[in-house]
Amino acid sequence: MFNIKHLLLATMATLGAATLGTGCVGELEPMPSQPTPDDPPAETNAAKVMFDDNVASIMTAKCGSCHTAGRPAGNTTGFVASIAAQQYDTMVGYVAVVGNFTASTAPVLGKIANGHQSITYSTAELGAITAWLDKEVEVRNPATSTPPTTPPVETASQITKRLYKEWSGCMTKTDFDTANMAQGVGGYQATNNQECDNCHATGAEGFVASRDGAFFFKIMSEHTAYMSQYFIVDLSTFATDHKASIIQNKTSILGVSQRQAPHLEHPTFNADNVSAPVTAFYTLTAAHAANPATCEVPAGRLLD
């Protein structure tokens, strides 16, 4: 009796014979390996790779005891993330630490040079930090067209240092007062009803905002780290035309106002309101910078 079992056996036999009759040509090629969904994408930011490989461990070892993100000691900046994946974004998120990334003015190197907390760094460690900062400048400011063949008179680091120095000498206390910086910034109230100078009157957490105009102006005009929170050297065209300029650091103020990482614990505030007196002060200072003969201190006020 022919049943389903016989039919299945016959079908399998037929298929087997057909397969054997066809034969094999060569050998089967192995399937190319495919990344699993859990494989992280390759990192394309060369500066981040350099930081992760050469700098993160230095920052953790040298600075982590006081500057751990989320729980810094005292009123310091928490720029050292305890989670490895967050270390880079946390570090570069603090203008008070990196400035515009040029080695000549980056506050992190300035602190080291001044023997901060009597912590020493080896030549190799300093070289690693400097090389990383140089790479950041390169990555963040790529050429947008063919650069001129004439080599630049100044490096990005040198032009940054010069512009900060000149700008500091063109800032005046009169213009500072006219722009209402002390009350407009130092006395500005965030959404938690706290005013800026409640936390930053003495420059705590790398930012100065005080209703004491004389102190506010002095700290801001003498120290690059504090000045760069408000005015930053723009190197966006340097790789193309070897030029740079001082601009308002609206990015920094906006990021903090919106609690963007790493400033997640800062109360929100209206960035436009804080920027208004800064814009007024910038405009007045820029007028002097355009006519250096009107600058009060041509040699600059910077102490660092």
20-64 pLDDT per residue, tens: 444 434 444 555 555 555 666 677 899 999 999 999 999 999 998
Q: Please name which of 72, 80, 40 lies closest in space to residue 56, comparing C-alpha atoms.
A: 80
pLDDT at 15: 43
Whether 169 and 277 share a structural domain: yes
Please tell me whether residues 232 and 286 are part of one structural domain.
yes
Please report where in the chains the tokens 């650091």 appear, as a residue: 249
Q: Which of 24-33, 156-165, 273-282 is least confident?
A: 24-33
Instruction: Give the predicted TM-score (pTM) of the model.
Output: 0.81
If one compares 172 and 147, the residue with the highest pLDDT of the two is 172
Rounded CA gap, 91 and 57, in Å? Answer: 12
Q: Is 147 helix (H, G, I), strand (E, B) or coil?
A: coil
- How many structural domains are present in the chain? 2
Characterise 206 by phi-psi region: left (phi > 0), alpha (psi -120 to 50), beta (else).
Answer: left
Are residues 181 and 111 part of one domain?
Answer: no
Mean pLDDT of all residues belonging to the chain? 86
The pLDDT tens digits for 68-91 are 887 777 667 889 998 999 999 999
In a domain, 1, yes or no: no
- Residue 7: the pLDDT is 42
Which residue type occupies 110? G
The residue to which tokens 């990334």 are assigned: 101
Of 140, 167, 182, at which residue does a domain stop? 140
**Beta-carbon count within 10 A of 60 CB:** 17
> With bands split at pLDDT 50, 70 and 90, how would you rate the model's confidence at 213?
very high
User: What residues make up the domain containing 224?
Assistant: 156-294
Nearest Cα residue to 276 out of 255, 250, 252: 250
Q: Locate 140 and state its tokens.
A: 């963040």
Regarding whether 194 and 248 lie in a shared domain, the answer is: yes
Q: Could you give the CA distance from residue 272 to residue 253 in angstroms, rounded to a whole number?
A: 9
**Once rounded to an integer, what is the mean pLDDT over residues 254-269?**
88
Which of residues 298 and 264 earns the better pLDDT score?
A: 298
